[in-house]
Structure 1
Amino acid sequence: MDQKEILHKYLRTRRENLLAKLDGLDEYSIRRPMTPTGTNLLGLVKHVASVELGYLTDVFGRPTGRVLPWFSDDAEPDADFWAAPDETRESIIELHHFSAAASDATINELDLDAPGHVPWWREDRRDVTLHQILVHMCVETAHHLGHADILRELIDGGVGQGAADPNVTPRSAEDWAAHRERIESAARKAGAGGL
């Protein structure tokens, strides 16, 4: 695989992992704000799909014509990070697929050194290449996938990419509780000056 194929593979995998965080959850669970700033699973999918669409189409002069109202000048701040009651799970998943297809076309059709322009970045950073934006989107998607990993664990205990994920130590609920208690105990000791 060449560099572009490797980056593209990482991006596709992280996209799939992020979307999978919605699997098996009800509407409330995917929309529920889990942090003081309102971070929620469906909002993360909406945000990542929206941002990727801009970076891998408009930046390279390949607009799709798809209007994202949450990015309009009169939209409320952070409207891309949550789903209004009239925005369905299906519409956001469709946006995710649309964004991925449009982005994949750009990635497949352009060389890594293809020039782009990011008008919302500082003037001295606006001129970019596909390589730079691919790295940026891999990092952006993985960043928000990390948020989604934690939210999913808080919602229903799901960790990683499921039971077969080789990066998650297989433990029973009791073993996880004991593991957590060991960490809590270590934190208390360190906090009390026990080091």
Structure 2
Amino acid sequence: MVNMKGRDKLTRIVDFLNECGMLRKTPRTGYQFLGSGSESVAEHSFRTAVIGHVLALMADADVARTTYMCLFHDLHEARTGDFNYVNQLYNSSERTTALKHACDGTGLEDAVLGYWDELEETETLEATLAQDADQLDFILNLKEESDQGNTYAGQWLESALKRVRTKWGRELAETIAKTDHKDWWFLGPDSEWWTHKNGKDDKKTS
């Protein structure tokens, strides 16, 4: 990254933001094996951050730190791409180096890399919650695919549930596993709405 050394701080921040945008174009690759479903790294990172925020509130942990760790946990994949487990048998990526290069010259180095180091060491409650949030986002996706008939997703779900570490994460995971993914919108309106949504009201006859 020698050619980036002469760029001023604000320009490097814009570079950083453009790099974050690359995550919207970077696919998560495990769905190739699952056979259904898809998402970008950006989509995954967003909901992981929301889940981390919720978990931190449940656990009375540092909400901001947990959320930040979730937000930046896959930023390096803008440069490395997402390696599924088969890829990892034959390839490795220098994740920390990629993240350092992304942050170099932005003034964000200490903060972002600090979150990264804490997450990698996973010795604090906040880091463990962030790791759980990462898994819970995947569990939510697997439940949705399972609800829609993908039997492999159900098998993956059983394994993913075992990876959740904290009691708060397990509580959420167990509830996800027994909740239909569409309930939040399908059960919302009065049941009559589904049969009268063509504009007829109770006073009119068909």
| TM-score in terms of structure 1 length | 0.29
Structure with the larger RCO, 1 or 2 (CA within 8 Å, 6+ apart): 1
More helix, by proportion: 2
Larger radius of gyration: 2
| TM-score in terms of structure 2 length | 0.28
